[in-house]
Amino acid sequence: MGVAAEDKRFATYDDLRRVPGHLVAELVGGELHTSPRPASRHALTASGLIGDLFGPFNPRPRGPGGWWIIDEPELHLGGDVLVPDVAGWRRERLPVWPDTPALELAPDWICEVLSPSTVRLDRVLKLPIYARERVAHAWLIDPVQRTLEILRLTEGGWLLVASHAGSATVRAEPLTRSG
């Protein structure tokens, strides 16, 4: 006699909204994932990246513009709700920033700052969703190892375009002065 399969209950947006504010909550494949707010090294890395990119790539008067660069946007992509550490949309695709709590238009670029508690979620679970939604570029930063991986979406999946380590100045696609 066979054992009846248990019905798996998929998490909902209401489940996500009930998560305490000191946690980051995401819905991935119907499963609720929670993570503690980033530790100081992680937060410093993401903040430094935004500081470096905001002036040159967000709107004038400081830079040429062309992008919206945002920290921790809530993305509603299909049935998934993701919160990348940093994301960017080309202004040609998103000319006016919406006044909404979440975005349904997938970004052109995402950056995940890896931490021991989120590395599997970021690499194994979220990258395939970003690929499914046609996010063209992804950066993975490891603040402990001091590495940056630049990924580009191709027909075959994610292609590692470049890896950088240490404190070198990097110009990486898609965020170049002309891009």
The DSSP line for 11-27 is P-HHHHHTS-TTEEEEE
Q: Is position 77 within any domain?
A: yes
pLDDT, residue 103, reads: 96
pLDDT, residue 174, reads: 86
Q: Is position 48 within any domain?
A: yes
Helix residue spans in the chain (DSSP H): 13-17, 40-57, 119-120, 127-132
Domain of 42, in residue numbers? 13-165
pLDDT, residue 166, reads: 86
Q: Is position 6 within any domain?
A: no
Q: Is position 177 within any domain?
A: no
Q: Is position 178 within any domain?
A: no
Q: Is position 85 within any domain?
A: yes
Burial-class residue 14 by CB neighbours within 10 Å (0-12, 13-18, 19+). Answer: exposed
Strands of the sheet containing 157-165, edge to edge, are 67-71, 86-90, 109-113, 137-142, 147-154, 157-165
Q: Is position 174 within any domain?
A: no
- Tell me the two tokens of residue 12: 């909902």
pLDDT, residue 3, reads: 43
C-alpha torsion angle, residues 164, 111, 141, 122 (rounded to 10): -130
Single-letter residue type at 164: H
Cβ neighbours of residue 134 closer than 8 Å, sequence gap 6 or more: 106, 153
Q: DSSP of 142-170, one letter per residue?
A: ETTTTEEEEEEEETTEEEEEEEEETT---
Count of domains in the chain?
1
| pTM higher than the cut 0.85 | no
Rounded distance, CA 73 to CA 111, Å?
11
Residue-level pLDDT, tens digit, the chain, 179 residues:
444 445 567 899 999 899 998 888 999 999 999 987 766 666 667 766 666 666 556 665 445 568 888 889 999 999 999 999 999 999 889 988 899 999 999 999 999 999 888 899 999 999 999 999 999 999 998 988 989 999 999 999 999 999 999 887 778 888 765 44
Listed residue (127, 33, 129) closest to 79, CA to CA: 129
